[in-house]
Amino acid sequence: MSDRSFLREDLVKISVRFIGDKIDYLLRKFPRQTNSIIITGSDYWKGFFKYSLKNTCNQPNVLTIEKEETKESIDKRLKKLEKPYILITDNFCPELSGEWEYMVYFNSPLRIKGLVSDIKKVENRKGMSVEVLSDWRGYEDFYARAGEDDDRDDIDAMRGWLSRSRCRIAMIDGSGGDCGVCDYCISQGTKGLTEMETALLALLRTRGKAFTRERLFELGYGTHRHDISYPGYGALRGIRMDDALAALFALKNRGLAEFSGWGKTIFIRGI
């Protein structure tokens, strides 16, 4: 909890993280702790993290919450633990009572109802920190995309909380370094980047040297599974190639990307 560059504790106790390799980030972070770890959500991720933390990372105190458990039974288990770490994946557990040290939403949209409750717990000092991990996508869409009509209150509450807390959306590469995309845009006096421009710039900034255009899109679209651990892998999935190219040239025109080379071999580097 003392790493201020990660948690931005000088600004806010709830952090929104756009991380290229979320799995590696969690497996590196959790074994440093002696607290029990409780995993809830999808059966796939519960099994994956429980196995990985216990067998690969030698973390002995890993528990799971099953879907059929009642709120009462969950609260009873939590009371026996001293400020556990809670990892919520994909789907979400019932609202939790009691105290916890650190909570992570993994692969989760911010419009879920439970998150607003967690925010209130942090503000009331019942919990210590909440961290939300997502892929490299535009943060406006990430926390403000409406689903059903009854999500609107949660969306408004999230917008209000982010505004009140002066939350800065951080982007972190696979080595744990801050890409600083949003801070850079603010310092340059720009109006900010679109979702695609943000995804591309984050991907470009994961390495110091230039990409070929073909390699950039191989990583962005997740063409080869052997690249799965590369920061930014799959960041462009769901985006049309023509739109991605247009966003790439928009970055060049803004002075945030540099092109070099001739013919089919064009190198692109983030600035």
Residues of the chain with CATH 1.10.10.10: 193-270
CA distance 100 to 127: 5
* pLDDT, tens digit (0-9, with 9 covering 90-100), for 45-69: 788 788 778 776 667 788 888 777 8
Per-residue pLDDT band for 32 (boundaries 50, 70, 90) equals low
DSSP assignment letter at 91: S
- Residue 219, pLDDT above cutoff 50: yes
CA distance 162 to 115: 12
Largest CA distance in the chain: 66
- Residue 236, pLDDT above cutoff 70: yes
CA distance 271 to 264: 22
Residue range 128-145: mean pLDDT, rounded: 48
Q: What is the CATH number of domain 4-172?
A: 3.40.50
Q: What is the CATH number of domain 193-270?
A: 1.10.10.10
CA distance 21 to 266: 27
Residue type, 73: S
